[in-house]
A and B are shown apart, each in its own frame.
Chain A
C-alpha cells in the first residue's frame, strides 16, 4: 500500500462522519449549504462552522502532538484565558499590536514550558502535571484582569477575531495556516517520527539517542502556542478578556477532537489533519443542533450521545468484535490485538 492510499484510509472514517453529520443537518435544514458574500466577507452556516471551530481546531493541533507523545494537556483552556487576558492587558496598557501579540504568545509559550518542564524534567505524569495549571491558570488570568472582564478597542486585535482576508474570516485563515504549518514542520522534518517514537516507547527512544526531554518540552510549548492563538481569537471575538469563561471546557473539546481524529490516547501514530476534521465534527454537531431547531437545552445531551456513538465505534472492544464477526469464529483474538510494548 503506498503512502497516499494509506493516508486516505487513515482519514476516511473522520471524513465519512463529518459528511454524514453535514448531510443529516442539510436534510433537516435544507438551506444549510448556502453561502453568500456580504460586506466583503463570506457568510453562511458552513463558514460559521469553520469560524466558530477555530479555537478548538487550534487547540487540537497542539493537543495532537502532546497526545502523540502519550501525554495530555488539560491546561489549554486555562492557558487560553491567560493569553486572552495578557493580550487584553497589553492592549489596554497601550502597547502596539505586535508587542501585544508577542506578549500573549510569550505567555502561552511560558505556560507550555512550565508543563513541559514538569513532564520532561520532573517526570510527572502529564495528566497530573497539566492539572496544576488547569486549576491555577484561571486564578492567574483573573490576577491579570483583576477579576473583571477587561475590554479593549484596538482595531488590529479585533480584526483577528472578526475581520476577514479575501472574504475569509481571519480565524479560519489562522487555524488553517497553523494546521498546514504544523503538519509541514512535523512531516517534512523528522519531528513527526521522533514524536511518535517517544510516544510509543520513551525509554527505548532515549536510549537510541533521541533527545526526548527537548522534544517533550517542545510539544507542550507547541500546545501552549496554539492555546495562545486560540486565546487571542477568543478575546478578540468578544473584544475583551473574560478570565472565567474564556476557553472554559475547551480542553475537553480539543481532546475529544483528537480522539475522534483517531489518534490513540496511548500515544504513537498521529494525524493533525484528522484531528482538525475531528474539531470540525464537534463544531458541526454544535451548529447542527442549533440549526435543527432542537431546544438549546438538548444541546449537551445530543452532543454526549453523538460522542458516545463515535467512541463506541472506535472502541477497541467493538473493533475486536467486528474483526471477530468478519472472520471465521474461533480464530485467535491475540493476533488482532495491537502491539503495545
Chain B
C-alpha cells in the first residue's frame, strides 16, 4: 500500500474548543486501497479528526488534502460531493422509505421530470448486487436488519462519494456473523481502490480487517503502524501511554461464597426472547454473562428486571416468591439494573447529577415521600466522592458528562437504593480506560460487601477477572455454566463458539 499515492492527507490539523484542545497538529494519511483503523480512548480526538475531515467541524489550522488538492468541506454533504463518504454507528438512513429510495434519495432517475420507479428499482438492485445483497428493494428499509441497513448505508455513501469511506463504529450493534458480512463488503471495496477509515472499539476486528492503524491520545498523534508490525500489547500501550496494569488472573475466582442461594430463578423465561433458564445466586457472588450481541444476554437481564416481564417460571428471594412483572417490582425486591444503552435507557440527560442519583430511591419511596433537599445533596456529594465522578457541580445536567462519568452516575443511582442484587449490562462499554478500571474495582468491592451481581460483558478478560461463575448464552438460551478454575477466556470462547448445543441445558 505504501507505494500507492496518498488519497487523503491531513497535515498538522488542529481544533480547539473553549477550554480544551481537542486536536493538536495531527497528521493522518490514507492511501487508496487500504483499510486504516483509527484508534484511541474516548476523548483521544478520533471523532474530532473525522469531523474535521468531513466538514462537520471547521478546522482551526492545518491542511486537508484530497488527491493532493487542498479542500475545505463546509459540511458532510459537501465532503460527500468531494468524494468523502461517512457511515455512522446509528444508521443514518430513513426507515420509512424503501431501500431503493434510500439508495437514490436526491438522485432518483427521472423521465420527463417524473421519478421512474422501474428504473429506480432496477438500479438499486444492480447497486446492491455488488455488495452480495439480493433483497426486495421496494420494501421499507426498517423491515431489514441493522446489518443490511448498514450495508445499504455504505452502498449509498460509496455511490455518492466513491473515494474515501469513513466507517464510524459500524459494528457496534452487529452480531459476529453480520460483522463478517460487513467485513466482506469492506474488503471488496478495498480491492476496488477505495480508502477506508475504520473506527472500532473491538481490537479483534481491527486486527482482522485493517492494514494500518493510527493511534491518537489526548488529541495528539501517537503513531501510525502496519498491522503486521503490531501486537495487542504494543497497541494497547500506544493507546494508553502506559503499561496496562493487567489483571494477572487467568482463571475465574475460586473464592466463591458458600451458603445457600439468595435468589433463585426457576424455568424463568420469556417466549420469543429468552428460553427458560435456572439460576441461583448467592450473596456476595459475581455472576458473569458472556455471549455475542443478540444471543440473549440483554434479554435475560431485561426479563429478570421486569422490563420485558417473564412469562414462564418464577423467582424466589431467600425462599420467598417475588413478583418481577415490572421494573418497579424488581426495585422493590432490592434489584438494580444498569442498562447497556446509557443514553436512551439510563440517564435523564436534562436533569442534574443529583436528581439522576436520587431518582431510583425517590421512585421507590413514592411521590408522596420526597427525599428532603438536604439529604439529596448529601447523597449526591457522597457518591460523587466515592465513585470519583468528575464534575464541577452536582447540579450540572448529567447529559454534559463524559460516558464514563455517566456510567458512574448510573451506578450511584442504584447504590443509593442499597440493592442486594445488581444487574450490570456492559458497564464498561464505550468508556475510557481509567473509568473502566475504576468500575471493575467497584464491582469487586461491592461483591466483597455481600452484594450479588450479574455482569454482562463482551470483554472476556474482564469477566474472567471478577466472576465466580460465568453463564454463556447463545441463540437465546443459556448453554453453559463455568465456575472457578474452569473460567478462562479460552473456555468461554469455546462455549460461545461450540455448535453442539446441549439441548437439555
Interface positions of A (Cβ within 8 A of B): 188-191, 193-194, 196-197, 200-201, 203-211, 215, 268-269, 331-332, 335, 338-341
Distance between A242 CB and nearest chain B CB, rounded to angstroms: 38
Distance between A118 CB and nearest chain B CB, rounded to angstroms: 20
**A332, B349: Cβ atoms under 8 Å?**
no
Interface positions of B (Cβ within 8 A of A): 17-18, 57, 305, 307, 327-328, 330-332, 337, 339, 343-351, 355, 359-360, 362-371, 397, 399-400, 413
Closest 10 CB pairs of A and B: A339-B399, A209-B331, A341-B349, A209-B363, A190-B370, A210-B363, A208-B360, A200-B350, A191-B367, A190-B367
Among residues of A, the one whose C-beta sits closest to the C-beta of B16 is: A332
A191 to B365: give the CA distance in the assembly, Å: 12
Contacts A205-B359, A332-B57 known; list 18 others, CB within 8 Å.
A190-B371, A197-B355, A204-B339, A205-B348, A207-B339, A208-B360, A209-B364, A211-B328, A211-B363, A269-B350, A331-B17, A339-B349, A339-B350, A339-B399, A340-B349, A340-B399, A341-B348, A341-B399
Q: Can you offer 10 A-B residue contacts whose CB atoms are under 8 A? A: A191-B367, A197-B348, A200-B348, A201-B347, A204-B348, A207-B337, A207-B339, A209-B360, A332-B18, A339-B400
Contacts of B370 in A (CB 8 A): 188-190
A193 to B331: give the CA distance in the assembly, Å: 19
**A189, B363: Cβ atoms under 8 Å?**
no
Contacts of A193 in B (CB 8 A): 351, 355, 359, 362
Distance between B409 CB and nearest chain A CB, rounded to angstroms: 11
**B399, A207: Cβ atoms under 8 Å?**
no
Also in contact, A206 and B362, with CB within 8 A (given A188-B370, A268-B350): no
Also in contact, A209 and B327, with CB within 8 A (given A196-B351, A200-B350, A339-B350): yes
Also in contact, A200 and B351, with CB within 8 A (given A194-B362, A194-B367, A332-B17): yes
A331 to B368: give the CA distance in the assembly, Å: 45
Contacts of B359 in A (CB 8 A): 193, 197, 205, 208, 210
Distance between A290 CB and nearest chain B CB, rounded to angstroms: 40
A228 to B177: give the CA distance in the assembly, Å: 59
A191 to B57: give the CA distance in the assembly, Å: 41
A209 to B419: give the CA distance in the assembly, Å: 13
Contacts of A194 in B (CB 8 A): 362-363, 367
A321 to B240: give the CA distance in the assembly, Å: 40
Distance between B412 CB and nearest chain A CB, rounded to angstroms: 12
Distance between B72 CB and nearest chain A CB, rounded to angstroms: 15
A340 to B344: give the CA distance in the assembly, Å: 10
Q: Which of B17, B344, B366 contacts A335 (CB 8 A)?
A: B17
**A189, B368: Cβ atoms under 8 Å?**
yes
Distance between A45 CB and nearest chain B CB, rounded to angstroms: 39
Distance between A20 CB and nearest chain B CB, rounded to angstroms: 29
Among residues of A, the one whose C-beta sits closest to the C-beta of B373 is: A3
A167 to B327: give the CA distance in the assembly, Å: 52
Distance between B423 CB and nearest chain A CB, rounded to angstroms: 11
A200 to B351: give the CA distance in the assembly, Å: 8
Distance between B361 CB and nearest chain A CB, rounded to angstroms: 9
A188 to B369: give the CA distance in the assembly, Å: 9
**A206, B327: Cβ atoms under 8 Å?**
yes
A167 to B29: give the CA distance in the assembly, Å: 81
Contacts of B307 in A (CB 8 A): 207
Distance between B300 CB and nearest chain A CB, rounded to angstroms: 15
Contacts of B327 in A (CB 8 A): 206-209
Among residues of B, the one whose C-beta sits closest to the C-beta of A187 is: B370
Contacts of A205 in B (CB 8 A): 348, 359, 363
Contacts of B339 in A (CB 8 A): 204, 207
Distance between A336 CB and nearest chain B CB, rounded to angstroms: 10
Distance between B44 CB and nearest chain A CB, rounded to angstroms: 18
A210 to B348: give the CA distance in the assembly, Å: 12
**A204, B344: Cβ atoms under 8 Å?**
yes
Distance between B273 CB and nearest chain A CB, rounded to angstroms: 16
Contacts of B345 in A (CB 8 A): 203-204, 207
Contacts of B399 in A (CB 8 A): 339-341
**A200, B349: Cβ atoms under 8 Å?**
yes
A204 to B350: give the CA distance in the assembly, Å: 12
Contacts of A188 in B (CB 8 A): 370
Among residues of A, the one whose C-beta sits closest to the C-beta of B354 is: A193
A200 to B348: give the CA distance in the assembly, Å: 6
Distance between A208 CB and nearest chain B CB, rounded to angstroms: 5
Among residues of B, the one whose C-beta sits closest to the C-beta of A338 is: B350
Identify which of A188, A331, A332 gathers the most chain B CB atoms within 10 Å of its CB. Answer: A332
Q: Which of B347, B355, B367, B369 contacts A341 (CB 8 A)?
A: B347
Contacts of A268 in B (CB 8 A): 350-351
Distance between B402 CB and nearest chain A CB, rounded to angstroms: 13
A201 to B347: give the CA distance in the assembly, Å: 8
Contacts of B366 in A (CB 8 A): 190
Q: Which of B331, B332, B348, B413 contacts A201 (CB 8 A)?
A: B348
Distance between B393 CB and nearest chain A CB, rounded to angstroms: 10
Contacts of A335 in B (CB 8 A): 17-18
Among residues of A, the one whose C-beta sits closest to the C-beta of B346 is: A204
Identify which of B327, B331, B337 gathers the most chain A CB atoms within 10 Å of its CB. Answer: B327
**A190, B362: Cβ atoms under 8 Å?**
yes
Q: Which of B343, B349, B413 contacts A208 (CB 8 A)?
A: B413
Also in contact, A201 and B362, with CB within 8 A (given A196-B351, A331-B18): no
**A341, B343: Cβ atoms under 8 Å?**
yes
Distance between A63 CB and nearest chain B CB, rounded to angstroms: 20
A195 to B349: give the CA distance in the assembly, Å: 14
A215 to B359: give the CA distance in the assembly, Å: 14
Distance between B61 CB and nearest chain A CB, rounded to angstroms: 12
A331 to B18: give the CA distance in the assembly, Å: 7
Among residues of A, the one whose C-beta sits closest to the C-beta of B417 is: A209
Contacts of B400 in A (CB 8 A): 339
Distance between B172 CB and nearest chain A CB, rounded to angstroms: 18
Contacts of B350 in A (CB 8 A): 196, 200, 268-269, 338-341
Distance between A31 CB and nearest chain B CB, rounded to angstroms: 45
Among residues of A, the one whose C-beta sits closest to the C-beta of B365 is: A190
A341 to B342: give the CA distance in the assembly, Å: 10
A269 to B369: give the CA distance in the assembly, Å: 21
A269 to B397: give the CA distance in the assembly, Å: 12
Contacts of B360 in A (CB 8 A): 208-209
**A208, B18: Cβ atoms under 8 Å?**
no
A40 to B403: give the CA distance in the assembly, Å: 64
Among residues of A, the one whose C-beta sits closest to the C-beta of B362 is: A190
Contacts of B397 in A (CB 8 A): 339
A191 to B413: give the CA distance in the assembly, Å: 18
Among residues of B, the one whose C-beta sits closest to the C-beta of A1 is: B395
A288 to B66: give the CA distance in the assembly, Å: 63
A209 to B338: give the CA distance in the assembly, Å: 12
Among residues of A, the one whose C-beta sits closest to the C-beta of B18 is: A331
Identify which of B343, B349, B366, B413 gathers the most chain A CB atoms within 10 Å of its CB. Answer: B349
Among residues of A, the one whose C-beta sits closest to the C-beta of B393 is: A1
Q: Which of A203, A208, A210 contacts B344 (CB 8 A)?
A: A203
Among residues of A, the one whose C-beta sits closest to the C-beta of B22 is: A332
A189 to B373: give the CA distance in the assembly, Å: 11
A168 to B416: give the CA distance in the assembly, Å: 49
Distance between A335 CB and nearest chain B CB, rounded to angstroms: 7
Contacts of B346 in A (CB 8 A): 204, 207
Contacts of A340 in B (CB 8 A): 349-350, 399
Q: Which of B18, B330, B349, B369 contacts A190 (CB 8 A)?
A: B369
A242 to B331: give the CA distance in the assembly, Å: 49
Identify which of B347, B369, B413 gathers the most chain A CB atoms within 10 Å of its CB. Answer: B347
Contacts of B365 in A (CB 8 A): 190
